[in-house]
Structure 1
Amino acid sequence: MPPAPGNTASQAITVGSMTKKFGHREVLHGISFGIEKGSVFGVIGPNGAGKTTVMRCLLDIIRPTSGTSTVLGENPRAAGPSLRRRIGYLPGELFLEGRITGRKLLSHYADISGPVRPGRVDSLAERLGLDLDRHTRKLSKGNKQKLGLVQAFMHDPELLVLDEPTSGLDPLVQQEFLAMVREAQANGQTVFLSSHVLSEVQQAADEVAILRDGRIVTVATVDSLRQGAVRHVRFTASGISTADAGALLARVPGIGHLEVLPAGDGVELSATLGGAIQPLLRVLAGLELTELVLEEPDLEESVLELYGTIRGNGPGTADVNGNGRRRRRRGHGA
């Protein structure tokens, strides 16, 4: 388990040994973490891992069974509406009143959340491609999600808590959302988002907590996860035998899943690489390469390794949704 939060004065959220039971079933098992003010913090995990439960406990929508937490320096159980007005919240399951236009609904939310800058709502709606004058019952899932994003961002809250924020959004709108997150951070706001879409968190977050079955597997920066992630390498080289190429590459630290095949007067090789790439590059510099593909590391590889270790089935045994399959990787030519 990660250590309990340290310097709470610099943190927007602290969680210490939080548990949550529904009846006899415990869904959070003593989790602890802290989120620095002005940072973007992501929690990654399969559906059912406990992401939404954590967020609801922090917002006092439900009460934890035990443990401690602070949100913007206050106890969420005691702070009441004054704290909630400092937070923008997008729930994972968004319910909208159907007999009202988006504009009127947002006006109602503004009365609750506090002052909204003139033109702010229209600006956000334009960026997301949302028609505010349509009745909410006529909106698609994606447009309802856009309306939820506008209500979360519109009053420029100190803290944004966003549960699966890009659900139902097309790729262009997802990129606009990521731009909104970066702008919020530049404005000094803190963002806490959850997702089972690893690429989303990879693009948005400074730090991530990996959650599985109500337990935090690890808390790490995105950079450190990338550094620890497995890369995939493929190359062809001339003037070398399969035996010599295999022996040469086997000595490189972090090489695994090595496969060497004959190709013309040389070899075609594929392997995985964990850790630094410099030892590999030094070896490759002595070969007559005709093609080299070194894939960019992805957070998914690190998460799959961690999940595989936790389950005791070895690395890469389950995807982030727990479906027991690996997603296709994109390679980048070198």
Structure 2
Amino acid sequence: MPLAIETTRLAKRFGRTTALHGIDLAVEQGAVFGLIGPNGAGKTTLMRVLLDLIRPSSGRAAVLGREPRGAGPALRREIGFLPGELRLEGRISGHELLRHYARISGRVAPAAVDVLAERLGLDLGRQVRTLSKGNKQKLGLVQAFMHRPRLLVLDEPTSGLDPLVQQEFLAMVREARELGQTVFLSSHVLSEIQQAADTVAILRAGRVVTVSDVESLRLTAIRRVRVGIADATAQQLQTALAAIPNVTELAFTELGGSDGDGTRMTARVEGGIDPFLKAIARFTVNDLVAEEPDLEESVLRLYNTDASDGDEAGAR
């Protein structure tokens, strides 16, 4: 499948600070690709390089099959961009500002702007300077989506939005994918990426820690389980689980009484849960609760691997 974005050993240095360390990425056309990392990981720098807002120090980037540096306005009209630090001021109305952007981005379908504004709950008649941070973010989303670009590049797109509008934004992303558009978005909120993206790249200190589809990431995630066992002691359960390395933080409460015999157990299971279930299957299980895998805990663990802390300062 053709690639919407491809980078090869892409690096960016600001003086003595290296913001990107040889980034290799491949984003297929029609995919939703999430870029996640803590503040200072290099997410914004990478997006700016892809859009030719800043130039790479070394390496190569291709966007929609073209090198950003030489493609000029023709390529930019095929991209919808929402910057992470959106600054909108002026005494003009939202309608007037979007008409200005439409002259730059190219043809906008009739009523497209009004439909998007209604979905996001945005009053386009108000002066831009009077809008709250959240409403300015909505205005930025409308200008990114309104011309139905082949590629959407969205840097922290839900910043300042209330939960209901965030859900509407996620619906817009799903619809863009169905229309064949590519979405490249960054966030430090894992749940947002989890709901929106097909593939996730985890960035830390300007390096790609891992690239994975969301389902594979879930399979390596951490979950908490609570189990009630009718016919086993804490010692018996501990022995049964001793050989399973992905089960930790075991805690037991032994119950007494004629109608409460047995043991309650809690545990932390990393990755696949099948070995844990097979180990307790020899006993009588009264109840079992397995929480939704904690992707955030798993990703935070990945943040602390492989990358050098010394290079993080100054990256965006």
TM-score range, shorter chain: over 0.9
Shift of 1:311: 6.5
CA distance in 2, matches of 1:140, 1:223: 36
Equivalences for 1:282-297 in 2 at 5 Å? 282-297=278-293
| Aligned with 2:304 (options 288, 305, 308) | 308
Question: Partner of 1:201: helix, strand, or coil?
Answer: helix
CA distance in 1, matches of 2:151, 2:303: 30
Question: Partner of 1:240: helix, strand, or coil?
Answer: coil
Q: Tell me whether 1:65 sits opposite 2:57 in the alignment.
A: yes
Shift of 1:274: 2.1
CA contact (8 A) 2:209 2:305 kept: no
* 1:177-221 deviation line (CA, Å, top 9, x unaligned): 000000000000000000000000000000011000011101111
Question: Structure 1 residues 51, 170: closer, same or farther in 2, change over 3 A?
Answer: same
Q: Tell me whether 1:126 sits opposite 2:118 in the alignment.
A: yes
Q: Tell me whether 1:174 sits opposite 2:170 in the alignment.
A: no
- Name whichever of 81-90 and 235-244 sits farther off: 235-244
Normalising by the residue count of structure 2, what TM-score does the alignment of the two structures yield? 0.93
Q: Tell me whether 1:147 sits opposite 2:139 in the alignment.
A: yes
* 1:264-293 deviation line (CA, Å, top 9, x unaligned): 332221111123222322333333333321
Q: Tell me whether 1:239 sits opposite 2:231 in the alignment.
A: yes
Question: Partner of 2:62: helix, strand, or coil?
Answer: strand
Shift of 1:173: 0.5
Question: Partner of 2:254: helix, strand, or coil?
Answer: strand
Question: Structure 1 residues 212, 266: closer, same or farther in 2, change over 3 A?
Answer: same
What letter is aligned with 1:15?
T
Equivalences for 1:252-291 in 2 at 5 Å? 252=244, 254-264=246-256, 265-291=261-287
Question: Partner of 2:159: helix, strand, or coil?
Answer: coil
What letter is aligned with 2:295?
L
Equivalence for 2:102: 110
What letter is aligned with 2:59?
G
Shift of 1:231: 1.5
Shift of 1:10: 1.1
Question: Partner of 1:290: helix, strand, or coil?
Answer: strand
Shift of 1:162: 0.1
What letter is aligned with 2:202?
I
What letter is aligned with 2:264?
E
Equivalence for 2:44: 52
* 1:248-269 deviation line (CA, Å, top 9, x unaligned): 2223452122222323332221
Equivalence for 2:177: 185
Equivalence for 1:326: none
Shift of 1:163: 0.1
How many residues of Structure 1 are paired with residues of Structure 2 in the alignment?
305
Question: Partner of 1:309: helix, strand, or coil?
Answer: coil
CA contact (8 A) 1:222 1:299 kept: no
CA distance in 2, matches of 1:312, 1:193: 24
| Aligned with 1:200 (options 183, 192, 200) | 192
What letter is aligned with 1:309?
T
CA contact (8 A) 2:222 2:295 kept: no
CA contact (8 A) 1:258 1:272 kept: yes
CA distance in 2, matches of 1:186, 1:205: 13
CA distance in 2, matches of 1:21, 1:253: 42
Shift of 1:226: 0.5
CA distance in 2, matches of 1:249, 1:59: 52
What letter is aligned with 1:258?
L
Equivalence for 1:97: 89
What letter is aligned with 1:163?
D
RCO comparison, higher one (Cα < 8 Å, 6+) = 2
CA distance in 1, matches of 2:234, 2:305: 32
CA contact (8 A) 1:145 1:167 kept: yes
- Say what the alpha-carbon RMSD is for the aligned residues: 1.6
CA contact (8 A) 2:205 2:308 kept: no
- Name whichever of 256-265 and 167-176 sits farther off: 256-265
CA distance in 1, matches of 2:140, 2:23: 28
CA distance in 2, matches of 1:32, 1:67: 9
CA distance in 2, matches of 1:24, 1:279: 49
Shift of 1:312: 9.8
| Aligned with 1:31 (options 13, 16, 23) | 23
CA distance in 2, matches of 1:294, 1:163: 34
CA distance in 2, matches of 1:282, 1:26: 48
Shift of 1:246: 1.2
CA distance in 2, matches of 1:186, 1:275: 31
